[in-house]
Amino acid sequence: MILSFVQKICFYSGKCDLMAYRILEKEEIAPSVHRMIIEARDVAKAAKAGQFIILRIDERGERVPLTIADFEKEKGTVTVIYQEMGKTTKQLAKLSAGDYLEDFVGPLGTPADIRKLGTVILVGGGVGVAPIYPQAKAYTSAGNRVISIIGARNKDLLILEDEMEKASSELYIATDDGSKGHHGFVTDIMKKILDSGEKVARVVIIGPPIMMKVGAGVASPYDVEILVSLNSIMVDGTGMCGGCRVTVGGETKFTCVDGPEFDARKVDFVQLMNRLAMYRGEETEAVEKYEAECRCGLH
């Protein structure tokens, strides 16, 4: 791999302590899903559940937003979990402990509004379980009864099961193929709980947009607050570019400063999904080019 600018400075000056964004641990926790623990003291110190970071691998890289999956203030570390999708996430997957990221900025976005509400249902799908995890911890320590429902296509793709077990009062699992837990969708379990008559104050749903849309639809008829966390395309993450705009309740909002959490009943999910597809053609092309280069041994 070509050394990044930061790595070069470290390499030639020996002043690696100046460079905060070192990868401390990296693990493939499910096929093509990776967990990365990064040393980023300032970010870790200020991070709260519901926030995200933006990272850049090297000078020529994209700025990629990822939700914070965990953080330890004392150790100065931030955990992110990502699935190999585009070129950048595939490139990230090739890095290992000891490598550096050129940029790692955050915490971004408005923190989740976590306080004692009573019973809260947290629903996470796919890699959406990652941002649900710090919320589970935070809702629990705020004194809530936390019912978590996590799901994936199959049992191999299920992540953070043990962690979620510990962080929740109750944990339910659903897989599309029935290889673990409920055979079906996370939203089926959510509906069952809401139907049971238990008083639920809030439902938080995080996952692929289509899952959040369906989940919001299922929960809508019930007397419960429904929140979703959106992962829009963005550049700076501080409100400057407006690329992350989304229509909420008929008004244009910026995900990075007004969100990322919004009232699910008001989100225009169709527009959200369309906007996320904006660069799909270019992304596919970039992946193909990158993989061809990898085969040639350029990376």
| 83 vs 33: CA distance, rounded Å | 4
83 carries a ligand binding annotation? yes
Q: Is residue 264 within 8 Å of residue 226, measured between CB atoms? A: yes
Q: Which of 13, 96, 141, 274 binds another protein (CB under 8 A)?
A: 274
- Give whichever of 201 and 286 is closer to another protein, judged by the CB atom: 286
Q: Which of 2, 277, 292, 298 binds another protein (CB under 8 A)?
A: 277
> What does each C-alpha distance from 287 to 28, 36, 65, 228, 281 come to in angstroms?
20, 21, 18, 29, 10
User: What are the structure tokens assigned to 34, written together?
Assistant: 């990776």
To the nearest whole angstrom, how small is the minimum distance from the Cβ of residue 5 to another protein? 11
- Give whichever of 97 and 270 is closer to another protein, judged by the CB atom: 270
Q: Does 246 bind another protein (CB under 8 A)?
A: yes
Q: Which of 1, 2, 28, 45 binds another protein (CB under 8 A)?
A: 45
User: What are the structure tokens assigned to 119, written together?
Assistant: 């019973």
To the nearest whole angstrom, how small is the minimum distance from the Cβ of residue 122 to another protein? 24
Q: Does 257 bind another protein (CB under 8 A)?
A: yes
| 131 vs 124: CA distance, rounded Å | 8
Q: Which of 24, 103, 165, 224 binds another protein (CB under 8 A)?
A: 103
Give the binding-site size for another protein (rule: CB under 8 A): 41
Q: Does 264 bind another protein (CB under 8 A)?
A: no
> What does each C-alpha distance from 172 to 111, 114, 262 come to in angstroms?
25, 22, 24
Residue 274, SS3 per DSSP: helix
Q: Does 243 bind another protein (CB under 8 A)?
A: yes
Region 80-99 residues binding another protein, contact defined as CB under 8 A: 87-88
Give per-residue burial for 145-169: e unless 16+ CB within 10 Å, then b.
Answer: bbbbbbbbeeeebbbbbebbeebbe
User: What are the structure tokens assigned to 87, written together?
Assistant: 């070129």
- Give whichever of 103 and 188 is closer to another protein, judged by the CB atom: 103
| 194 vs 189: CA distance, rounded Å | 9
Q: Which of 82, 104, 133, 185 binds another protein (CB under 8 A)?
A: 104
Provide the phi-psi class of 188: left if phi over 0, else alpha when psi is between -120 and 50, else beta: alpha
- Span near another protein by CB under 8 A; candidates 194-202, 205-213, 219-227, 249-257: 249-257
**Site for another protein, rule CB under 8 A:** 42-43, 45-46, 56, 60-63, 87-88, 102-108, 235-236, 238-243, 245-247, 252, 254, 257, 271, 274-275, 277-279, 282-283, 286
